[in-house]
Structure 1
C-alpha cells in the first residue's frame, strides 16, 4: 500500500488536484482512498459527500480514535473511498501539541489499516502546521500542485524547507513525487514565467501535464463530481488524465 500526500504551499488551495487524480486512478482500476485533512472540507464536498452530524471523520483518525478502514466511506466513483474532513480539524494542532501521542504516530497507525487501498492520497491543509507535517511524516511521497501565480512561487520555498525538515527529523525516506502546474493561462506572461521558473529549479520532477485555468474545472466540485464526469473531453479532463498517467508511472512503473 502506498501513502502519497498531495501537499500545498502557503496561499495555495488544491483539493481539485486530489479529487481528479483520485478519480482518474480509480477509473483505471486502482483501489484509491482519499483523506480530507483540511477543515474547509472542499475535497469532501467536491465528491458530493455530506457528513452526518456526529459521524466519525478524519478528525478521529488524527486523534487515534478510529482506524482508516472504519472511517472510509464509499463514493459515487467505483474503487474510490473517502475519509471525510471535519470543521473540528481547524483546532486540532492545539490538541495534537497537548496530547501524549504525536500526530504522525496516530496517523500512521490508522492508515496501516486502510483496507484494500493501493493508493492513499491525503489532501493537506494550506498551512504548514502539525497536521500537514504529520501527513508528510507518514507519506512515501509528496505531490506538489503549483498554481501559476506569483504567490504560489512565494509559498513553494517555504514548503520545500518544510519537506527538508521532515526528512531530517521524521521521515528520511520522504520523496517529492513531482510538481504539477495548475491554473495555467498560457496567454499571460506570468503563466509562462512560473512554468520556466519551476522547470529551472526542479527539472524532470515537473509533470509534463499542464492543468489549465478552466471554468469547467472550477464548476465540477460544486456538482459533487470529477471533471471526467462533468466535462469529459474538456482540456481540464484531458490534463488530469495525463497527470494521473504520469503519477501512476512514477509510483507503479506503468501508466494508469
Structure 2
C-alpha cells in the first residue's frame, strides 16, 4: 500500500493491505506525549521555575536536533536538583493524564492477545502509575535518585544500565520479543520523538503519534489527529 490518508489526520505508507491486530504479538509504547499528555520532566521543572529552560532541551532532543539523548537528559536532570517527592506527586495527580484513546487501544491489543510494553526515556515514578492504570505487562524506564525526600539530579543505575535512550528502547523491544519467542516483525512500536526511531525501525509496524516531523516521515502509520485508538482503523480485526 502506498502513501495514503484514508481519513483526515491518519497517514499510512508502505504497508501491505489487510493487516490485522492479531497478526502481532507485542506492542511497545513510548510514554511521555504518547501514552500520556505531558513531558513529565518539563512539568517537574515547573516546580522549580525552570520549565522553559528544560522544555527547550526536551523539544530539541525529541526533534533530533540534540543527538545525544543521554547528555540532554543529564543536563535537564541537573536543573531538577532539590525538587521534592511532593512535587513529583503533584505532577502525577494533577497534570498527568492518559492521552485520548490510550485505554481503548491497549484494551483492544490485550483482547487480541498482544502483550504490552512501556519503554520510556522518562521516569519510573510515573511509568509505574501508567502501567497500573493500563495493566501493562512490561516496563523499562529511568529511576530518579531521591535522597531526603528530594531529587539529587541523578539517576539510579539499574541492571540493564542507567539511561533508557533510543538504543536501549530498541534493545528492550528485541529483548522482550526474544523472551516471548516471537520475531521483531510481530511487534508494533509507537512513539513521537527521535529517540523512538530505533525501536520503531526494529519493529514490524512503526506508528507515530502526534509526532515530530522526522518521526512522522519515517513511520508506516502516522496519527496526526485524534486519539491513539485510531490505529484500530488500520488494524481492525
Output the TM-score relative to the length of structure 1.
Answer: 0.29
